[in-house]
Amino acid sequence: MTHSSKAFYWMAIPALLLFVTLHTVPALTGVFFSLTDYAGYGTWTFIGLENYFSLFKDDRILSSYSFTFLFAITTTIIVNVLALGIAMLLNAKIKFQTAFRGIFFIPNVLAILIIGYVFNFIFSNSLPLLGQWAGIDWLSTSILANKDLAWLGIVAVSAWQSIAFSVILYLAGLQTIPADLYEAADLDGAGYWRQFRSITFPMIGAFFTINMVLALKGFLQAFDQIVALTGGGPGTSTESVAMVIFRGGFQGGEYGYQMANSVVYLLVIVAVSVIQLRTLQRKEVDF
Amino acid sequence: MFQLKHWRARALSAALAAVLLTSCAGPPAGNVVTLSFFQFKPEAVQEFAGLIDEFEAANPGIRVLQNNVPDPDTAIRTLLVKNKTPDVLTLNGNASFGLLAKACVFADLSQEPSAQEVLPAVQDILNANGRCRDSEINGLPMANNASGILYNPEIFAKYGVSVPQTWDGLIAAAETFKANGVAPFYMTLKDAWTTSPALVNLAAQLQPEGFFDRLRAAGTDRNNSPVSFSKDYQEVADKLLQLFTYAQPGAAGVDYASGNKAFADGKSAMYLNGSFAVPAIRAANPEAKIATFPYPVTNNPANTTVVSGVDVTLAMGRETPHRAEAQKFIDFLLSKEVIDRYAKNQSAFAPTRSAAPQQDPALQGMASYFTSGKLDGYMDHQLPPSIPLVNITQQFVLDGDKARYLNTLDNEWFKIAARMPKRGDQ
Amino acid sequence: MATTETAASARTAADTRGLRRRGRKLDSVNWPLTALAAVLALTVLIPLYLTVVTALKTPDQLGGPGFEWPSRVRLENFSDAWNLTNFPRALLNSAIVTVGAVVLTVLSNSLVAYAIARNLHKRFFKFLYYFFVAALFVPFPIIMLPATKETALLGLDNPVGLFLLYTVYGLSFNVFVYTAFIRSIPRELEEAATMDGASTWGIFRRIIFPLLTPMNATVGILTCLWAWNDFLLPLVILSDPATRTLPLAQYVFQSQFTTNYTVAFASYLMALAPLLLVYLFAQRWVISGVMRGSIK
């Protein structure tokens, strides 16, 4: 088997080299700059861990972390519940299946400018009309302009936009379930809910894990949709970590400082994902 | 049959190759110098393309390659790290431009003949944002904007209101409109930055002389600083809040685009904005009635100034190998004819001595301040761009908590001063 | 033996995919679920309708209730968008980058994942797996400026460099999903082929890669989406304005103080169409792939 194992190395090593050159080296360079006062241009000096000390004294950074977590966890749960449901729906014997698959795919392809404009419009014009008609107070004005509710608007739009991505993965997962399992269950007289719990969900467990981890990781890095919907406002109530990094680091000239923030952010994301993987995989049925 | 198909395919690919070659080749490489020209305004791409054609026709040895990049703040940084600093650039003359100038990215243009033409008040505003050395000029203004109060002359005439000259006059006018059921201002609080035209005008006239110089000199020592936002911005904050009490219902959810449309359709008497909004308002309604007057911030009309920023700054890469050609191009862009045309087409103010006065009736109200040099710079160009000033101000206008607002500004300022001890007071 | 078994079960899976209700004929249409899908589709169709209507308006018709059909339809929005973005050029650039990224990603990433999935018991490959997957969590801002500098130094600040970057950066995610899928393919198939004298490369090409078809289509769709819509990477990597992709070219409608929404929306709709076609085409592949792959 030596020649076959040699072939395996040949398959992997060129990719590894490219990856190290184009990803790992830049990442380490970025980490290094977190120890400097580099502005992204011009000269710099090495300042040790000073950026990291300043970070923990910066209340704006801390509040951006708490907003980001609240937002990311809520959206991840909503997206996965809905995406799994829609994937099963699209996989069922429905009429116009192709057309529906196309339609549910659209939000993922729409440009962020469109999404921002259309939903700003819906939130500030259409929904308030509905709210006034129904006499619901909090809905009678734009929820994006409400300091306490704006984040829910962002959750809704982010979920709307990213469900398609999770649906694609869930659909791929549903294809891997052998049909005879359902036939056997039908014969045993298992109900719909029972089939979902004992066949569908366990069989796509790996895809559920992948989707949960990816969604949380993606929403922890949310940026575009927040800029398009609220610009971090009202005030700084919906400012995400990625937004603080971009505004301060690339537009604001505090590159080194925001690199330190990025490193902490990386560690936080990894820690959260590892915990998440451990918990989810324990529940996953290996097949 | 096969033969024929083959022949056809070959002819087709030959034709394709020919098309590709001719479209890529361009003029002979000979002694032609190509200038890379970073142009930050998407709306001015066609304008500059026309100007470049003219320039190239007059200077056969020079080609200019316009590069209009989205997100110019980020794009210019990537060009810098690639060591591809453009030969000639336009940028907004804001705080980010100041940071780049301080880092000595741009050439010194103080010896340029066209530098002598620039209105001194405008050059001072630009230089105040930052430069490499105090003797240098790192950017020359090509077009300026001006922030002032836009108003609808028909509504003013209908209720017999004349243009306010004083703060009390402004408030009285607002009260008159309010009493007659007309929205005095149309506020667009959804877009945080639209709170800043009012803020910068109040700050420019009400903050103590040399406020930011003294604040920078204080370094990181918040407690012993002779000036601070909490001490010196009380009146600014009070008057800002007073203006925003006139916001129409639901203003918190209205964005800038809807505001332009509403003002264009005569839904309010005044609009707290500036010359930069005029093209957008006209796009929303070509029949819009627009006129302007400067913010009367105090009760002494002699104090009134116009806050103006350099909308288009011309700069040159410090290490450009084509200095003579770049200079030629900059001189061309700053020639009287080009400046006048650009100002006219883009609703801007021309920042040179010889320029023709702005003829646009919408901008007449501020034109005289421009020629007489009664100008102030944008206060936010003095703040590090990593402070989210507009968001903080939006928050204040919504909740009215003055103490917290001013404290937040002080807090952000001194936090950054502590992080960037060297850069903060360069 | 094993081959026929998988093929058989895969065939049934393809024929009878979907949710089954007790006692129902397998091929009859489920109308209640169709109705539910239609209701849910409204959440997409309403915003889409707003988009289309906006793309047909003149700027002075914006605002107001927004849902009404434009009183004057302005189809010139589309030709304006075509000219202002230099649409054919930008479309070609986007197509080159996207096709390059998809083809290279599907071919190379599946290969790397195959090597990893079959050798996870070896320390090197296990390390490789975690190394690639860990990179998934590195926020883009960390690598942004250094990667920009490096690609420029290597002369890769062009479309070729761009699709190479998508391929390499895609490894993190794709290795993750491919490996999960490959591990569910029984090894007996490969062992039989080895007995017949096939090389490891040959096994990958003739057995594994065809079996991966549904996964290839999924990875292809996701890569296509990413490369087609991405804004930030082209913004920082591409140096020559002539190589600008669609998302960059479309920025011409957004200036500092105004956005030309009507023309912008027209241009976004034009950019959306090819992607939707690709998706529908690739979706059929996801479904039919299971069967085709295993029959061989």
Nearest CA in chain B to A54: B419
pLDDT in tens, C215-257: 899 899 989 989 998 999 999 999 998 999 999 998 888 877 7
Q: What is the pLDDT of residue C65?
A: 67
- How many C-alpha atoms does B29 have within 13 Å on its Cβ side? 2
Q: What pLDDT, on the 0 to 100 scale, is given for residue B74?
A: 87
Rounded distance between C-alpha atoms, residue A141 and residue A123, angstroms? 8
Q: Do C255 and B75 touch (CB under 8 A)?
A: no
Provide the pLDDT for residue C72: 84
Degrees to nearest 5, angle at CA A165 with A163 and A169? 110
Alpha carbon of residue B177 to chain centroid: 31
Q: What are the chain A neighbours of C165 within 8 Å (beta carbons)? A: 22
Chain B residues with CB inside 8 Å of A131's CB?
A: none
Q: Which of B35, B46, B52, B71 has the most C C-beta neighbours within 10 Å, making it the best mutation to test the interface with C?
A: B71
| Per-residue burial over A14-49, b = 16 or more CB atoms within 10 Å of its CB, e = otherwise | ebbebbeebbeebbebbbebbbbbbbbbeeeeebee
Residue reference for tokens 């962002």: A154
Residues of A in Cβ contact (< 8 Å) with C160: none
Give the model's pLDDT for residue B378.
94
Subunit contact C164:A22, Cβ cutoff 8 A? yes
Residue C128: what pLDDT? 95
Q: Of all helices (H) and strands (E), which one includes residue B314?
A: strand B306-316
| A136 interfaces chain C, CB cutoff of 8 Å | no
DSSP B278: H
Mean pLDDT of A148-156: 94
> What is the structure's pLDDT at B424?
41
**How many angstroms separate the CA atoms of B88 and B106, rounded?**
9
pLDDT in tens, A86-143: 999 998 888 988 889 889 988 988 878 789 888 988 888 888 888 888 888 888 888 8
C108 touches chain B (CB under 8 A): no
**Angle at Cα C52 formed by Cα C50 and Cα C54, nearest 5°?**
65
Among candidates B204, B145, B212, which has minimal Cα distance to B376?
B204
By Cβ distance, the residue of A39, A124, A239 closest to B423 is: A39
Count how many pairs of residues, chain B against chain C, have C-beta atoms within 8 Å: 77
Report yes or no: A231 at the B interface, CB cutoff 8 Å. yes
Of C63, C239, C248, the CB nearest to B70: C248
Residue of A64, A84, A109 best to disrupt the C interface, most CBs of C under 10 A: A109
Contacts of C221 (CB under 8 A, 6+ apart): A168, C278, C279, C282, C283
pLDDT of amino acid C160 = 95
Interchain proximity B388–A232, CB inside 8 Å: yes
Whole-number pLDDT of residue C1: 33
Phi, psi of B254 (to 5 degrees): -95, 135
Flag whether pLDDT at C9 surpasses 80: no
Asked whether the beta carbons of residue C142 and residue A263 sit closer than 8 angstroms, the reply is yes
Residue B396, classified by CB atoms within 10 Å of its CB into exposed (0-12), middle (13-18) or buried (19+), is buried
What is the C-alpha to C-alpha distance for residues B338 and B48, in angstroms, rounded to an integer?
A: 10
B33-38 and B88-91 strand pairing = parallel
- Residue C64: pLDDT above 60? yes
- Nearest by CB to C254, from A108, A113, A191: name it: A113
Query: Mean pLDDT lowest for which of A176-180, B413-417, C79-83, C176-180?
Result: A176-180
Measure Cα distances from C83 to A114, A182, A198, C88, C266 in Å. 20, 55, 56, 9, 12
pLDDT digits (tens, 9 = 90+) for A43-59: 899 999 999 999 998 99
- pLDDT average, residue stretch C134-142: 91
pLDDT score recorded for residue C5: 39
**pLDDT for B174:** 97
Predicted local distance difference test score (pLDDT) of residue A136: 85
Q: How far apart are CA C248 and CA B37, in angstroms?
A: 17
Sign of CA dihedral C27, C28, C29, C33: negative
pLDDT value at position A140?
A: 82
Q: What local confidence, expressed as pLDDT, does residue C27 receive?
A: 60
* C29 interaction partners in chain A (CB closer than 8 Å): 93-95
Q: Distance, in angstroms, between A17 CA and closest chain B CA?
A: 23
pTM of the model: 0.87
pLDDT exceeds 50 at position A218: yes
Q: B82 and C149 in contact by Cβ < 8 A? A: yes
CB spacing of A266 vs C139 below 8 angstroms = yes
Split at pLDDT 50, 70, 90, the class of C278 is confident
Mean pLDDT by 10 residues, chain B (426 residues): 46 46 46 93 90 96 92 90 94 92 94 92 93 94 95 96 96 97 95 94 95 92 93 97 94 90 95 92 92 96 94 95 95 95 91 89 91 91 91 95 96 89 47
Of B95, B51, B90, nearest in space to B72 by CA? B90
Residues of chain A positioned with their CB less than 8 A from the CB of B244 = none
Q: For residue A66, what are its two tokens?
A: 């708490």
Please determine, for residue C12, whether its predicted confidence score (pLDDT) is greater than 60.
no
Identify all chain B residues contacting A41, using CB atoms and an 8 Å cutoff. Answer: 77, 80-81, 100, 103, 105
Q: Average model confidence (pLDDT) for chain C?
A: 84
Residue A128 and residue B395: Cβ atoms within 8 Å? no
Element spanning C3, H or E:
helix C2-15
Return d(Cα B347, Cα B363) in angstroms, integer. 8
Return the pLDDT at B91: 95
Average pLDDT, integer, range C25-30: 67
What residues of chain A, 182 to 241, have a C-beta less than 8 Å from chain C? 182-183, 186, 189, 191-192, 195, 206-207, 210, 214, 217, 221
Place C288 in a pLDDT band, splitting at 50, 70 and 90. Answer: low
Closest-CA distance, B266 to chain C, in angstroms, reads 13
